Structure 1
Amino acid sequence: MDSLLQKNKRVVQRFNQEVIAEGNLASFHELMDESFVNHSATPGAANGPGGMWHTFHNILRPALSNLQVHIHAQVAEGEVVTTRKTITGIHTGTLLGVPATEQPVAIEVMDMVRLREGKYYEHWGVNTLAAVLAHLRK
């Protein structure tokens, strides 16, 4: 029998594959609590479910072809799953104002997701997107 911790890890794995890598809106709605809060949203940006979808669907996916998510490690405790991952792709579209360079991109991410009844309820995270953008501008 699967433990709650294993089930929570699988929810996060599904979100990373189906929502981030594949852009599946149905999976997004299935895995996202309507009361979700992204505590790491950029100041002034929407921090609810719509803001999270916007980040992946309107910013990352159009800018990075062959977008993939590589999960390196996960730790679960209670309702929280912490994941170390790399989001990769080829920079073939404009990314936050930086025109396409055709360069490979790797964004390192550490995030914590609090789940409620198998859905994303809260998120905290840090990533290397600013460093990637600085490199692409060179």
Structure 2
Amino acid sequence: MTTTLDTRQNNLEAQERLGAILEGGDLDRLAEVFADDVVDHDPAPGQAPGVAGIIDFWKTFTTAFPDLEAKPQLVSADDDHVTVALELTGTHQGDFLGHAATGRSFTARGIQIGRFENGKLVERWGASDELGILTQLGLV
């Protein structure tokens, strides 16, 4: 029998795998953590649905910011959800939202809430300080 503690631990381990995949750059492996039909409640402009859209987003984002780091500052979990507050850093070295690389760096906060079923993210909500990023890059 699976207990609440087991479910919570499985979800936390899936969240840690997500971080390791992003850090390692093998973005096609995101399908190991996201359900094929994951619902992204806060997609990027033009982002396709499902895990394919998530993978495409991260490929585009890490092309723009190849040194991207997403450091968890706080992680909280219950039976179904994992919430992560992040510190994001990166250097603008490729196209981002139609803007050519500036060579400038940014530091910003972000948050993600994921709902899990059977160890996979089935829904995600998230936000980051996009205005702060754009301001630090000199784009606004």
Same fold (TM over 0.5): yes
Give the match for residue 38 of structure 2: 36
Give the drift of 1:112.
0.5
What SS does the corresponding residue of 2:38 show, helix, strand or coil? strand
**Does the aligned pair in 2 maintain the 1:111–1:125 contact within 8 Å?**
yes
| Structure 2 gap ranges (5+) | none
Instruction: Tell me whether 40-49 or 94-103 shows the greater mean CA deviation.
Output: 40-49
Give the letter for the 2:58 counterpart. F
What SS does the corresponding residue of 1:98 show, helix, strand or coil? coil
Give the match for residue 95 of structure 2: 94
Give the match for residue 55 of structure 1: 57
Is the alpha carbon distance of 1:135 and 1:89 closer, same or farther for their aligned partners in structure 2, counting shifts above 3 Å? closer
Give the drift of 1:9.
1.4
What SS does the corresponding residue of 1:49 show, helix, strand or coil? helix
Give the letter for the 2:26 counterpart. N
What SS does the corresponding residue of 1:65 show, helix, strand or coil? coil
Number of aligned residue pairs: 135
TM-score normalized with structure 2 length: 0.85
Root mean square deviation of aligned Cα: 1.9
Q: In 2, distance between residues paired with 1:132 and 1:43? A: 16
Give the letter for the 2:9 counterpart. Q
Give the letter for the 2:7 counterpart. L
**Does the aligned pair in 2 maintain the 1:8–1:81 contact within 8 Å?**
yes
| Structure 1 gap ranges (5+) | none
Between structures 1 and 2, the one with greater strand share: 1
Q: In 2, distance between residues paired with 1:111 and 1:22? A: 19
Identity, in percent, stands at 25
**Which of 3, 9, 14 is the aligned partner of 2:12?**
9
TM-score normalized with structure 1 length: 0.86
Q: In 2, distance between residues paired with 1:67 and 1:130? A: 17
Give the letter for the 1:16 counterpart. G
What SS does the corresponding residue of 1:3 show, helix, strand or coil? helix
Q: In 1, distance between residues paired with 2:25 and 2:34? A: 14
Query: Which digits, 9 at most, give the CA deviation of each residue in 1:49-82, with x for residues without a partner?
Result: 1111111012x11111222220111110111001
Q: In 2, distance between residues paired with 1:124 and 1:52? A: 12
What SS does the corresponding residue of 2:47 show, helix, strand or coil? coil
Q: In 1, distance between residues paired with 2:88 and 2:13? A: 18
Give the letter for the 1:47 counterpart. P
Give the match for residue 27 of structure 1: 29
